[in-house]
Amino acid sequence: MHPTRLTSLAAGARDTLPMLVGAAPFGMIFGTLVATTPLAAWQGQLMSMSVFAGSSQFIAVGLVAGHAGLLVIWLTTFIVNLRHMLYAATLLPHVAHLPARWRWTLGFLMTDETFAVMNGYYSKRGDARLGHWYFLGSGLSMYANWQLWTLVGLLFGAVFPQLQSLGLDFAMVATFIAIVVPQLTRLPYFGAALGAGMFAYLLKDLPYKLGLMSAVLIGVTIGMALSRWQAQRGETR
């Protein structure tokens, strides 16, 4: 039986299910965190709907609570999200032929979890005709999951503020480990992870999480440099 658009969409959502479980506590904790800041509940939900980037949302909410300026918030979240440039460079060959409306939609829906699912999918089916529908299913399932658990956190955060202290965030740590480790077989990813981890440790004492942001920037730079080096090496052979 040949896959159809609908079956490909459903398969993408199905294969993303383990990631949904890992992201659920993270979304709920974000909602409870918003409830402890000057932000209104609708503003927290709107952030999840329009930004859809967990780590950036956590950082932005913390900076808002600390009365940071808009430029500081923008630059910080920009640096944290630079890793998506590596994701885009990896998946671009598989989606470059799509119309702009598809590329923009899939770009908005791409998260760490969806990238892990799609990278594995394209590694096995590089010429998948309906791969973008699979991509859409994965991205939409993550999006809906994030909205749901943000809402749960917002609704119950004020009633159960102790949710933040239950250690639920470990589920997201475990999810990221599951995402990162299988990718380390490729030199750019291994170099990026090694460089980011090393500098995150060396710069951990810098204030305002500048060490973490610097480590992210260094890791992405190393990864992109290694990707370019591999591409140039392949062209010269």
H or E stretch at 117: helix 112-124
Confidence tier at 166 by pLDDT (50, 70, 90): low
The number of folded domains in the chain is 1
Q: Residue range 145-168: average pLDDT?
A: 75
CA distances from residue 35 to 6, 69, 157, 176 in whole angstroms, order as listed: 38, 21, 6, 25
Does any domain span residue 18?
A: yes
pLDDT at residue 59 is higher than 90: no
CA 96 to chain centre: 21
* SS3 (DSSP) at 147: helix
How close are the terminal C-alpha atoms of the chain, in Å?
40
Domain that holds residue 27: 5-81+98-166
pLDDT digits (tens, 9 = 90+) for 177-201: 666 676 677 788 788 888 888 988 8
- Give the closest residue to 57 by CA, choosing from 76, 84, 36, 85: 76
What pLDDT score was predicted for residue 65? 78
What pLDDT score was predicted for residue 158? 61
Listed ranges 7-11, 59-63, 80-84, 208-212; the one with the highest mean pLDDT: 7-11
What pLDDT score was predicted for residue 100? 94
Does any domain span residue 86?
A: no
C-alpha span between 119 and 122 (Å, rounded): 5
Average pLDDT, the chain: 83
pLDDT digits (tens, 9 = 90+) for 84-102: 887 888 898 899 999 999 9
State what percent of residues in the chain have pLDDT above 90: 28
pLDDT at residue 172 is higher than 60: no
Does any domain span residue 175?
A: no
Q: Are 132 and 98 in contact (CB under 8 A)?
A: yes
Does any domain span residue 53?
A: yes
Listed ranges 96-105, 113-122, 190-199, 204-213; the one with the highest mean pLDDT: 96-105
pLDDT at residue 210 is higher than 80: no
Q: Are 205 and 211 in contact (CB under 8 A)?
A: yes
Does any domain span residue 131?
A: yes
Does any domain span residue 152?
A: yes
Between CA 24 and CA 100, with CA 123 as vertex, the angle to 5 degrees is 75
Does any domain span residue 177?
A: no
Does any domain span residue 188?
A: no
What pLDDT score was predicted for residue 142? 96
Amino acid, res. 30: F
Does this model's pTM top 0.85? My answer is no
